[in-house]
Structure 1
Amino acid sequence: MSEPRVVSDAERRARLGRRHALAESVDGVLEAAESVVCLHATEPASVYLSARARGGATRDDVSRALYDDRSVVRQLAMRRTVFAFPADLLPAVRGSAAARVAAQQVDRLGKEVQAAGHARDGQAWVRETCAEVLAAIRDEPATTVQLRGRIPTLDLRVGADSGAKWGGPSPVAPRVLTVLAADGSVVRGENAGGWKTSRPVWTAVEDWLAAPPRPLPEAEGYAALVAAWLLRFGPGTEDDVVWWLGATKAAVRRALADVGAVTVHLGDGTPAYLHPDDVAPVTDPGPWAALLPGLDPSTMGWKERAFYLGPHREQVFDRNGNGGATAWWRGRIVGCWTQRDDGSVVLLPLEDLSARASAALEREARRLTQWLDGEVVRSVYTAPAVRAAQREG
């Protein structure tokens, strides 16, 4: 038996550039989402900025994909995070990662409801309340605030935490909607805020999608997600896939076997996996530059990030592992970016750059400034390097 081939860090960076539509752009918002499996959507603006970086999509293009064509759908899934998925991937997501999150949230909320003295059987309370809220949404889509006005139960409070800085009980409304969003009963429909603001109008899935997704069996769902991930992020280690998927090692190992993943070695000898249809070496696409928003899939796609992050972890990622807005050159994070109050984009290099890299990134900064057209995007996921620069004035 021949030894597994070695995929060097240089080839991994080449793959990242090509597969993630950063070195070779795509035409549409759906294609941008597919290039990284799904777009992070924890912050609404990140969907727009990530799609723009991969194909120059306008804000109208992204809104059209989300709200008119509905080819890209926001769904709570891996690691209790909101993503914008291609619609045809929803059956896999709902049957696997989202179902896991939903079960976890039902259990957690049920325990907190019991601890707060609201019910003797917390899980029964969660099931009954979710059914009541779902019925109300089916009757008329509504924001969270509107639902709290219609259903007094949603104002009950749970989860006091005297040890936290902002500890204290909070309304159950967001928690109930988290369960319904994870299990796919409801979706984030129209946005009652602007493109940078999240005020979703909760809508029954059957009222949002012409063909509501039927969840795949768990194993099939995980296999489909792992196959999609390998095609875009491979090679990756078992730990990379476990982290991205938010699943158990047992589930990931079964999915890798079901996909027929091919074992390779990374440059340091660590075993990793490629999709069986994507084992050939990938060549360097040539120079490319990109400015990506906080929590972009390319920044957050692996657990082990040294091949593209280098020595910049503490400057890019906060203590919770959230990556801020980044500047890329030829498959590596080489800086961050922020904005002035007038909306202009400012680069913050984290290392010495060549004249060619500096010029390419400055061009990207001008393009992004023009695209933003005076709009300033604020994020709670700000890179430590940016925070430091802001403190220094």
Structure 2
Amino acid sequence: MSNARPKITDRQRRARVTSSHLLTPQGRADTSEQVCEALVALHATDPATVYLTVAARTTDPAPAQLERALYAERTLVRMLCMRRTMFVVPRDLAPVVDASTARAVAARERRNLLKVLAEQHGHGDAWLATTEDAVLAALAGLGEATAAQLAAAVPALRTQITVSPGKPYGATPRITSRVLGVMAAESRIRRGRPLGTWASSQFRWTVAEPHPEMAAEEARVELATHYLRAFGPVTTDDIKWWTGWTLTDTRKAVARTGAVEVDLSHGPGHALPDHLDAPPETEPAAVLLPALDPTPMGWRQRDWYLDPALVPELFDAYGNIGPTIWWDGRIVGGWTQRPDGEIATHALTPAGRTSAARAATAAEAARMAAFLGDIRIRPSMRTPLERRLFTGSA
């Protein structure tokens, strides 16, 4: 009997991600919750990314639907978690994410804040706890409040700290955002509706609803299973990078997921047993994904869907990907929204320049322009191709 590991080809991986990540018109979801469940977590560093991620994958995209999920029914929860990054996750998964990743992130954020407060002002745990209690009392009275309103109500939030002293970029900001960030990371408060449009990065704050406690080890197994379900097959390094766990914690969690070892084009990986059969082929389809979309940011090793030669054009200096065009399970180009609202696209590969790909890309650009309407977006992480498209020089 052969002990050889099952082989999963790059083409099979692309077919699976095209289907599981809802990257075809036929595979689009009906609700924001279905998109989030399919992708496990939606990158939310840029508020607009969440809306564009959902719009690309739903049959009838409308900002009101996602606003309902985030702020009215609260079926989706915004959390600081994996890799100290802001994500939106399904409410039922929030306890898993909290125990497996967010709790450790929150502890580091608290330690860092306390270190600064002790060094610059002599404040310790008691002072910070009193300040946090005052924030909760203010929110209980106000219902919701902006950071500025909370700073007006809680004088301690107006305490200033020195950042990068002696440097040209040094500053003396208030600790307001640091304190609120720690409290949010600990799920004590949460971001409510933004000020202005849905693309705004200025939020109101409100008291968070508590969620059940879980043991960290059990939570890591569950989160690893969700990740394998959505992104598998994957390598150990993919899981370690996506979660931000140590290698030891990653290996322990994977060992309990029921995943089996497989051979990928660049080495060994892991797949759930029901991912071993070849997925059905899908018709080539185009989709425009936003900067930091969960699909292109879902793996550490990306050669199977992204030509390494395209990385300098599509990523910024910190490893953040810009807006991308996908065709038949591969990244083939990029796009941006210009000041007049036009969606400008540019193909970087021969596959993206075929007549079928160009026509499908144009149709998706029109769909994206209709969704955005009068809203103007700009990724906070600018990439070389996106900048050139924005100015019309590409």
TM-score interval for Structure 1 and Structure 2 normalised by the shorter chain: over 0.9
Query: 1:12-49 CA distances to partner (integer Å, 9 max, x unpaired)?
Result: 11111011011221111100111110111111111111
Partner residue in 1 for 2:135:
133
Question: Relative to 1, partners in 2 of residues 1:265 and 1:186: Cα closer, same or farther, differing over 3 Å?
Answer: same
Q: How high is the TM-score relative to the length of structure 2?
A: 0.93
Question: Relative to 1, partners in 2 of residues 1:389 and 1:337: Cα closer, same or farther, differing over 3 Å?
Answer: closer
Q: Which amino acid aligns with 1:152?
A: P
Partner residue in 2 for 1:7:
8
Give yes or no for the alignment of 1:67 onto 2:74. Answer: no
Give the Å deviation of 1:165: 5.0
Q: 1:315 aligned to 313, 316, 319, which one?
A: 313
Partner residue in 1 for 2:245:
247
Q: Which moved more, 1:217-226 or 1:125-134?
A: 125-134
Query: 1:57-89 CA distances to partner (integer Å, 9 max, x unpaired)?
Result: 211111112122211111111122111111110
Query: 1:154-176 CA distances to partner (integer Å, 9 max, x unpaired)?
Result: 11122521475522232211111
Partner Cα distance (1:147, 1:37) in 2: 32
Q: Does the 8 Å contact 1:343/1:376 carry over to 2?
A: yes
Give the Å deviation of 1:188: 1.2
Q: Does the 8 Å contact 1:110/1:125 carry over to 2?
A: no
Q: 2:110 aligned to 106, 109, 116, which one?
A: 106
Equivalenced residue count is 385
Q: Does the 8 Å contact 1:262/1:279 carry over to 2?
A: no
User: What does residue range 215-294 of structure 1 map to in structure 2 within 5 Å?
Assistant: 215-268=213-266, 270-294=267-291
Q: Secondary structure at the match of 1:55?
A: coil
Q: 2:29 aligned to 15, 20, 26, which one?
A: 26
Q: Which amino acid aligns with 1:306?
A: D
User: What does residue range 346-361 of structure 1 map to in structure 2 within 5 Å?
Assistant: 346-352=344-350, 353-361=353-361
Partner Cα distance (2:141, 2:276) in 1: 50
Give the Å deviation of 1:392: 6.2
Partner Cα distance (1:247, 1:43) in 2: 23
Q: How high is the TM-score relative to the length of structure 1?
A: 0.93
Q: Secondary structure at the match of 2:292?
A: coil
Partner residue in 1 for 2:47:
44
Partner Cα distance (2:138, 2:99) in 1: 25
Percent of aligned pairs with the same residue? 37
Q: Does the 8 Å contact 2:338/2:390 carry over to 1?
A: no
Q: Which amino acid aligns with 1:285?
A: T
Partner Cα distance (1:313, 1:215) in 2: 40
Query: 1:232-254 CA distances to partner (integer Å, 9 max, x unpaired)?
Result: 11111111111111111122111
Q: Which amino acid aligns with 2:314?
A: V
Give yes or no for the alignment of 1:373 onto 2:373. Answer: yes
Q: Does the 8 Å contact 1:325/1:382 carry over to 2?
A: no
Give the Å deviation of 1:328: 0.6
User: What does residue range 106-125 of structure 1 map to in structure 2 within 5 Å?
Assistant: 106-119=110-123, 121=124, 123-125=125-127
Give the Å deviation of 1:391: 5.3
Question: Relative to 1, partners in 2 of residues 1:145 and 1:91: Cα closer, same or farther, differing over 3 Å?
Answer: same
User: What does residue range 184-195 of structure 1 map to in structure 2 within 5 Å?
Assistant: 184-195=187-198
Question: Relative to 1, partners in 2 of residues 1:29 and 1:163: Cα closer, same or farther, differing over 3 Å?
Answer: farther
Q: Secondary structure at the match of 2:253?
A: helix
Partner Cα distance (2:83, 2:196) in 1: 25
Q: Secondary structure at the match of 2:205?
A: strand
RMSD in angstroms over aligned alpha carbons? 1.7
Partner Cα distance (1:180, 1:304) in 2: 34
Q: Which amino acid aligns with 1:82?
A: M
Any unmatched runs of 5+ in structure 2? Answer: none
Question: Relative to 1, partners in 2 of residues 1:344 and 1:117: Cα closer, same or farther, differing over 3 Å?
Answer: same
Q: Secondary structure at the match of 1:21?
A: coil
Q: Does the 8 Å contact 2:291/2:324 carry over to 1?
A: yes
Q: Which amino acid aligns with 1:139?
A: G
